[in-house]
């Protein structure tokens, strides 16, 4: 369904490492993905899996001690990583936008909302003051903020957490981006507010056809939102595919483990089928398949050989020596 549309973004073999005194440790390790126009990709993983660094790397926002060491990020036919820092900066905030988890630290506390929004417009285009104001008001109204005219002259502390996240979204939308990367945008919010924000993002996405990468640890959120899901573990995508395929028929044991960890399918009060152990730190990535110490299907080959990227039907890919059988759920 999404195959006919041209890709907005193609990430190929991306690697981002972090340096410390003992060496360089890959946080993102050979990540590849494709995103089509109007598509929502859920990028799922636990803390330390590299999902946030992946998002930052795609936008070229990696600072020392981090460094993008290889790979390509092809956005609308151009490799972003090959562009000059100034050219990258021009794309960010216009064609590419990011929404962060914590709206309190993203907004400048000493500028009014109106000033911050105007800055985002004027940074990328010369626009008359009246037009700037009109676009700001428009954008605030689109994300469900009432009386935007008065809100423009207020400071971030005068907004609640949910409202602040709406403002951050309104700023991201100002220049009609082709791609939005949202990093846990609703994690800090209550369920009812999360529902409101997701509802508005869905409506906006339908309206504008913006492609989106939604980074989260919450499988429930991506299940309801995403067209495709990519599951990350120890810096790489271990499984990617259409939402229904990945959630109903996971091929990678880690994906199945995550799904079993979520209360819901297990009878009330019964033990959940947990994944033992914890995710490895960057500096102690296991050999072979990084998941093998926690995997109940691991054999000798998993300890020695990195599993190959295997392709299935309908853009399905996984990295596992012993994938779960196709039919089993």
Partner 1 sequence: MIDDAILDIEGLGRSFTRQPLLAERLLGLLGRRPEIPMARAVRSVDLSIRRAEVLGLVGESGCGKSTLGRMITGITRPTAGRIRYKGAGVDEMPPAVRRGFTLGVQMIFQDPYASLNPRQRVGDILAEPLRVHRLAQGEPAIRARVDAALAEVGLDPSYRQRYPHQFSGGQRQRIGIARALIVEPELLVCDEPVAALDVSIQAQVINLFLDLRARRALTYLFISHDLSVVHHVADRVAIMYLGQIVELAPAAELFADPAHPYTRMLLAEIPSVRNRKRRFHAVKGELPSPLHPPPGCAFHPRCPSAMARCRTEAPALRAIGPGRTVSCHLFADERGPQ
What is the footprint of partner 1 within residues 152-171 (CB under 8 A)?
Answer: 160, 162-163
> Taking the CB of residue 52, how many other CB atoms lie within 10 A of it?
21
Among the candidate windows 86-94, 259-267, 296-304, 321-329, which touches partner 1 by CB under 8 A?
A: 259-267
Distance, in Å, from the CA atom of 147 to the CA atom of 254, rounded to the nearest integer, reads: 47
Distance, in Å, from the CA atom of 231 to the CA atom of 223, rounded to the nearest integer, reads: 12
Asked whether the CA dihedral 204, 205, 209, 210 is positive or negative, the reply is: positive
> Smallest Cα–Cα separation from 296: which of 237, 233, 247, 254?
254
Among the candidate windows 84-92, 212-220, 297-305, 309-317, which touches partner 1 by CB under 8 A?
A: 212-220
Given 279, 306, 312, 322, the residue binding partner 1 (CB under 8 A): 279
Q: Which is nearer to partner 1, 263 or 313 (CB)?
A: 263
The DSSP result for 194-240, as a single string, is HHHHHHHHHHHHHHH--EEEEEES-HHHHHHH-SEEEEEETTEEEEE
Given 276, 284, 325, 328, the residue binding partner 1 (CB under 8 A): 276
Given 273, 285, 303, 304, the residue binding partner 1 (CB under 8 A): 273
Given 72, 119, 218, 309, the residue binding partner 1 (CB under 8 A): 218
What is the footprint of partner 1 within residues 81-110 (CB under 8 A)?
Answer: none
Q: Which is nearer to partner 1, 85 or 269 (CB)?
A: 269
Q: Is 268 in the site for partner 1 (CB under 8 A)?
A: yes
Q: Is 46 in the site for partner 1 (CB under 8 A)?
A: yes
Given 258, 290, 295, 320, the residue binding partner 1 (CB under 8 A): 258
CB of 44 to partner 1, least distance (A): 9
- Using DSSP's 3-state secondary structure scheme, residue 97 falls into strand
Q: Is 128 in the site for partner 1 (CB under 8 A)?
A: no
Give the DSSP H/E element, type plus range, for residue 192: helix 191-208
Given 142, 257, 290, 292, the residue binding partner 1 (CB under 8 A): 257
Q: Is 269 in the site for partner 1 (CB under 8 A)?
A: yes
Q: Is 263 in the site for partner 1 (CB under 8 A)?
A: yes
Q: Which residues contact 314 (CB under 8 A, 6 or more apart)?
A: 241, 242, 245
> Smallest Cα–Cα separation from 107: which of 42, 175, 157?
157
Distance, in Å, from the CA atom of 276 to the CA atom of 257, rounded to the nearest integer, reads: 9
For 83-235, strand residue ranges (E) read 96-99, 179-183, 211-216, 228-233
Q: Is 147 in the site for partner 1 (CB under 8 A)?
A: no
Binding-site ranges for partner 1 (CB under 8 A) = 46-47, 144, 160, 162-163, 190-196, 198-200, 202, 217-221, 223-225, 227, 243-244, 247, 257-264, 266, 268-276, 278-279
């Amino acid at each position: 369904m999404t195959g006919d549309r041209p890709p907005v973004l193609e990430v190929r073999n991306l690697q981002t490492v972090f340096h410390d005194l003992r060496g360089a440790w890959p946080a993102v390790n050979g990540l590849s993905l494709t995103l089509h126009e109007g598509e929502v990709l859920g990028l799922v993983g636990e803390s330390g899996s590299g999902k946030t660094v992946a998002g930052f790397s795609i936008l070229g926002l990696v600072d020392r001690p981090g460094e993008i060491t290889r790979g390509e990020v092809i956005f609308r036919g151009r490799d972003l990583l090959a562009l000059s820092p100034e050219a990258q900066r021009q794309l960010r905030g216009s064609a590419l936008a990011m929404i962060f988890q914590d709206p309190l630290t993203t907004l400048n506390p000493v500028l009014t909302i109106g000033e911050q929004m105007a800055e985002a417009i004027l940074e990328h285009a010369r626009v008359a003051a009246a037009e700037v104001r009109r676009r700001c008001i428009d954008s605030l109204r689109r994300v469900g903020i009432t009386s935007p005219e008065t809100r423009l002259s207020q400071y971030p502390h005068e907004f609640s957490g949910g409202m602040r996240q709406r403002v951050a979204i309104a700023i991201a939308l100002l220049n009609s981006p082709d791609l939005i990367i949202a990093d846990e945008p609703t994690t800090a919010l209550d369920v009812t507010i999360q529902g409101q924000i997701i509802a508005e993002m869905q409506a906006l996405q339908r309206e504008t056809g913006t492609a989106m990468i939604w980074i989260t640890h919450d499988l429930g959120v991506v299940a309801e939102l995403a067209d495709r899901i990519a599951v990350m573990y120890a810096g790489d995508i271990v499984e990617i595919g259409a939402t229904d395929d990945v959630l109903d028929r996971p091929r990678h044991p880690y994906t199945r483990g995550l799904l079993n960890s979520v209360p819901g399918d297990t009878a009330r009060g019964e033990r959940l089928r947990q994944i033992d152990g914890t995710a490895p730190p960057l500096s102690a990535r296991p050999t072979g398949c990084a998941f093998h110490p926690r995997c109940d299907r691991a054999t000798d080959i998993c300890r020695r050989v990195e599993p190959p990227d295997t392709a299935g039907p309908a853009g399905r890919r996984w990295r596992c020596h012993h994938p779960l059988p196709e039919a089993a759920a």
